[in-house]
Amino acid sequence: MMLLTNVEGRVGMEPACAVLLEGRDALDAVEIGIRAVEADESVRTVGRGAIPNLLGEVECDAGIMDGVTLEAGAVAALKNHLHAISVARQVMQRLPHVLLAGEGAERFAREIGAAEDSLVTDESLERHARWLEKHVPEAVRASWPPGRLAEQAWVATREDPAGGTVVFLGIDARGRMAAGVSSSGWPHKYPGRVGDSPILGAGLYADGRFGACACTHAGEISMRACTARCVVLYVQQGAPLGEACRMALRDLQALRGGYRGAIVLHAIDAAGNPCILSNRDLGEEMAYYSWSEDAPEIARDSAIVV
């Protein structure tokens, strides 16, 4: 048994570990771990208390994947519901679809009785107001929102790092693998922006025969390169996990044009060996936590910069 999460996921490690120690599935552990993060207001880019988009709304993306069956569920731009990861899992279990977005995702969440919550807190609104005051001229703020928001979306890209996704990768007592991610995306993003988190093959992928990978930070580049799937595919083709992650990072170097930013890869192989690499030094944002039945204390380490 083992679990891996990034720095945002620390609060979810104990409940996720407890799920595995009870003999439950890796999917359960991944979901429970992420739910704890979504409910924690101190994590500013996941769930309740997250920094909103340019309109002051919190939109969440989440995805979950079963490494045994390769089934998956995801939601994008989901508003007004606390646990996007649980809605994503229900998409996997109840629908013939993989991904629901926007109003459809919100409708489905209501149908299944998912916990409703505006997700916006007084503190997050205050942070948003301060950002507007700093970056938006007073005349424009007086009639906010303006007819055109695109310029402000680029300001947000320059001023804030594109990070904040919570990642959980796990293997249970029967060797079953699962991966899950949840995020409210870029702070002050353009409304409706969907990152890589709910996109299979880009922000997450799990195949228990070979491994699993999930990405944080600049989802725009991992979507262009199908980064999470590439890591698993390179392992499938015979590369050791560390080299597979390096190959995926080299793929990103070929990208030209568009927004290109930092990314952190979190990956495990079928034996539960981890590899966490980043293409930039992001300081504390590169921290990750791991746990296994062989080393029962939750350990903290940092990604390797490549």
pLDDT by 10s per residue, the chain, length 306: 999 999 999 999 999 999 999 999 999 999 999 999 999 998 988 999 998 999 999 999 999 999 999 999 999 999 999 999 999 999 999 999 999 999 999 999 999 999 899 899 999 989 888 988 888 888 888 888 888 888 888 887 776 555 679 999 999 999 999 999 999 988 889 999 999 999 999 999 999 999 999 999 989 999 999 999 999 999 999 999 999 999 999 999 999 988 888 999 999 999 999 999 999 999 988 999 999 998 889 999 999 999
Supply the pTM of this predicted model: 0.95
Strand ranges in 193-305 using DSSP code E only, listed in sequence order? 204-207, 211-217, 263-269, 274-278, 287-292, 295-302, 304-305
Tell me the CA end-to-end span of the chain in Å, nearest whole number: 28
CA distance 294 to 272: 11
Q: Which of 225, 243, 226 is nearest to 234 (CA)?
A: 243
Residue 301, pLDDT score: 95
DSSP state of 144: P
Q: Sketch out the chain's domains with CATH numbers.
A: 2-305 (3.60.20.30)
CA gyration radius, the chain: 18
Residue 66, pLDDT score: 98
Active site residues: 165
Contact between 218 and 162 (Cβ < 8 Å) = yes
Residue 160, pLDDT score: 52
Residue 222, pLDDT score: 96
DSSP state of 243: H
Contact between 189 and 54 (Cβ < 8 Å) = yes
